[in-house]
Amino acid sequence: MPEDSLLHHALVRLDEAATHLSIDPDVIEKLKYARETTKVRLMIRMDDGSRKSFLAWRCRYDDTRGPTKGGIRFHPDATADEVETLAFWMTFKCAVMNLPYGGGKGAVQVDPRKLSKAEVERLSRAYIQAFARILGPDRDIPAPDVYTNSMIMGWMADEYAQIVGQAEPAVITGKPIALGGSLGRGDATARGGYYLVRHLAGDLGLASTMRVAIQGFGNAGQHIARLLAADGHKIVAVSDSEGAVASPAGLHVDMLLQAKEAGRSVTSTVGQGGHELLSARDLVGVDCDLLVPAALENMVDAANAATVKAKLVLELANGPVTPEADRILADKGVIILPDILANAGGVTVSYFEWVQNRQGFYWAVEEIHDRLRAIMEREGRAIWNVSRDKGVTMRTAAYVHALGRLAEAIEAHGTQSFFTS
């Protein structure tokens, strides 16, 4: 495995966690490799009558603790390495939250912004046609991810129902409410991170009013801005794929949300309400108390980690901080609330949706929020305690916490099933 691969970076964290536990080496060996990764080429009829092909993947990394769970992203830079790494992270994320799932992930190498709505629908349905044999409520359960949403999940759930001949709402989560989606799913990733920061605020020594910089202003970035602003925190910088804006006095969050709702970049607000243009690359170095990476992987690396001024990083994106940057930030005394804990609100509420689909009984949004808060606080507190007891970072503590649960499950299956189950 190349040392510069994303999965290699992820496995560094696994090896570090293993040094803090007494675990059968076979367990670590099993967790270093994906159980299965399927690659296909989807052929789509375009609106002009031509046909175009797109690479697509689905990885079921580990199903020791239950059916694999993980989103499907549509992104032009998607790769097999990325998909397997994201599935690895999902394996640990579900174990961190003690959900009865393993980890999975899927992707299509496409820029959906360049397709019509009809073309995106045909692509979504083609994905399910290609991978239907892998999926199932008890085998592999997709959800939304980068550039996919509830509408796309609805198309996918409908296609799966047509293939199997009956409605199977629990096969996909993140669906529209009308098709069995759960209340509270839209802001679950951000809300989980918000509950975590609020719960650990005293331990972290956070001020009652923080200055916050948010890298990535998609679903998670927008919701965390709204939640933190409502608590009186000051959002001083945000970025999206087209640029960034900043204001030491605080950005107007409503103005930013309205711009995104209208399909515009956050940079369209420059010159209004004191909003100033900022280089997107410079956002991580903005003077703030809390930095929230909410975009893609490897956004904080060895080249820019030293510029980070925040004392706390909340990873709402998957893998936004490289191992090299981890070490730089640790030396600076920066605390990172790691992705496999911080952004686990999304998969937790996806679990709630799956449970509701299977029992045919749906909960009020207040119950969703209460259940999510209780789990985030329980697991956040447990990881904080591991961090303090072992003198390790929160990331290492999260991996130790998850690895203990994974090892217990793997060993419970018996040694003969290590590489065959």
Pairing of strands 312-314, 290-293: parallel
Q: pLDDT tens-digit profile of 234-259?
A: 999 999 988 999 999 999 999 999 99
Across the chain, what does the average pLDDT equal?
93
Helix residue spans in 132-185 (DSSP H): 150-164
The boundaries of every CATH 3.40.50.10860 domain in the chain are: 33-179
3-state secondary structure of 195: helix
| Mean pLDDT on 17-41 | 92
User: In the structure, what pLDDT confidence band is assigned to residue 331 with cuts at 50, 70 and 90?
Assistant: very high
| Mean pLDDT on 287-300 | 90
* Maximum pairwise Cα distance, the chain: 65
Tell me which fold the domain 188-342 belongs to.
Answer: Rossmann fold (3.40.50)
Backbone φ and ψ for 140, nearest 5 degrees, come out as -155, 125
Architecture of domain 33-179: 3-Layer(aba) Sandwich (3.40)
Cα separation, 354 vs 83, whole angstroms: 22
- Give me the pLDDT at residue 421, please: 45
User: In the structure, what pLDDT confidence band is assigned to residue 6 with cuts at 50, 70 and 90?
Assistant: confident
Q: Is the pLDDT of residue 415 over 70?
A: no
Active site residue 39: no
* pTM, to two decimals: 0.92
- Give me the pLDDT at residue 1, please: 59
User: In the structure, what pLDDT confidence band is assigned to residue 68 with cuts at 50, 70 and 90?
Assistant: very high
Lowest mean pLDDT among 180-189, 350-359, 412-421: 412-421
* Placement of tokens 């709630």 in the chain: 352
Q: pLDDT tens-digit profile of 128-166?
A: 999 999 999 999 999 999 899 999 999 999 999 999 999
The boundaries of every CATH 3.40.50.720 domain in the chain are: 188-342
What is the chain's Cα-based Rg?
Answer: 21
Determine which one of 30, 69, 93, 105 is catalytic: 105
- Give me the pLDDT at residue 58, please: 98
* Placement of tokens 């010159």 in the chain: 271
- Give me the pLDDT at residue 297, please: 79
Q: CA 253, 254, 256 angle in degrees (round to 5)? A: 65
- Give me the pLDDT at residue 207, please: 87
Helix axes 365-390, 345-359, angle to 10 degrees: 140
Confirm if 326 and 395 have CB atoms less than 8 A apart: yes
- Give me the pLDDT at residue 357, please: 97
| Mean pLDDT on 402-408 | 95
